[in-house]
């Protein structure tokens, strides 16, 4: 199994003015790469353990050798989460979803506005470093969760379709301590077509 840094699907400045080019460059080229390098380093110490995918590592974290489980949790999670994150954003994104995801959001949260305010509240209250997620629980329910560090929803029987990185490295250059401003700005770059695709990939 080879773990490689996926290319950003747009240029560093594509999400300006909501997310600045310098942040995107450091976030993708340095932070994401470091997760991959550290995942590979950890796995190299257990050559008898051969994962088939990053997803399988995170879904079956309990089966990962205990010596490297924490490193896999953090760095495998970091790799998986960021790979999803780049794709659910785009230039001239934002607006509201349509299709199956819109229906499910309305059914689960009452309306898009109610969903958005619950998601924002979750993203604001993640203490320290972590993520806010919109995921499909194995029960079939759409759920909003906050997870610490690079924990992946996959480890908790949930399949993420949308996620927001609220680590300071994701916003500090432009927003400093103003996480709520970053959260508000992020809605302008969401790639709802990709979110729909993520959902369809789970159910089809």
CB 167 within 8 A of CB 126: no
Nearer to Mn ion, 144 or 170 (CB): 170
The pairs formed by 172-176 with CB atoms below 8 angstroms and a separation of 24 or more are 172/23, 173/20, 173/22, 173/23, 173/26, 174/19, 174/20, 174/23
Q: Is 165 in the site for Mn ion (CB under 5 A)?
A: yes
d(C-alpha 80, C-alpha 188), whole Å: 23
Taking CB under 5 A as the binding criterion, the range among 50-58, 93-101, 125-133, 165-173 that sits at the site for Mn ion is 165-173
d(C-alpha 146, C-alpha 33), whole Å: 24
68 to 97, contacts with Mn ion by CB under 5 A?
Answer: none
Q: Is 151 in the site for Mn ion (CB under 5 A)?
A: no
Q: How far is the CB of 115 from Mn ion (least distance, A)?
A: 23
Nearer to Mn ion, 104 or 147 (CB): 147
Q: How far is the CB of 95 from Mn ion (least distance, A)?
A: 24
SS3 of 179, please?
helix
In the shown chain, the binding pattern of residues 170 to 199 toward Mn ion, with x for contact by CB under 5 A and - for none, equals x-----------------------------
Nearer to Mn ion, 151 or 165 (CB): 165
Nearer to Mn ion, 26 or 59 (CB): 26
d(C-alpha 43, C-alpha 50), whole Å: 8
Which residues bind to Mn ion, rule: CB under 5 A? 165, 167, 170
């Amino acid at each position: 199994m080879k773990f490689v840094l996926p290319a950003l699907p747009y240029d560093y400045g594509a999400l300006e003015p909501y997310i600045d080019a310098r942040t995107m460059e450091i976030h993708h080229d340095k932070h994401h790469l470091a997760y991959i390098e550290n995942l590979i380093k950890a796995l190299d110490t257990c050559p008898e353990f051969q994962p088939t995918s990053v997803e399988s590592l995170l879904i079956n974290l309990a089966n990962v050798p205990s010596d490297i489980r924490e490193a896999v949790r953090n760095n495998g999670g970091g790799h998986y989460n960021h790979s999803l994150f780049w794709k659910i954003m785009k230039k001239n994104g934002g607006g509201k979803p349509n299709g199956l995801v819109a229906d499910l959001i309305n059914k689960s949260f009452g309306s898009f506005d109610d969903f958005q305010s619950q998601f924002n509240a979750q993203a604001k209250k993640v203490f320290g470093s972590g993520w806010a997620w919109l995921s499909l629980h194995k029960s079939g329910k759409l759920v909003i969760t906050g997870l610490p560090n690079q924990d992946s929803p996959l480890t908790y029987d949930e399949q993420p379709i949308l996620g927001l990185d609220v680590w300071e490295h994701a916003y500090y250059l432009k927003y400093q301590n103003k996480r709520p401003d970053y959260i508000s700005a992020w809605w302008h770059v969401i790639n709802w077509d990709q979110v729909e695709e993520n959902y369809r990939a789970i159910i089809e």
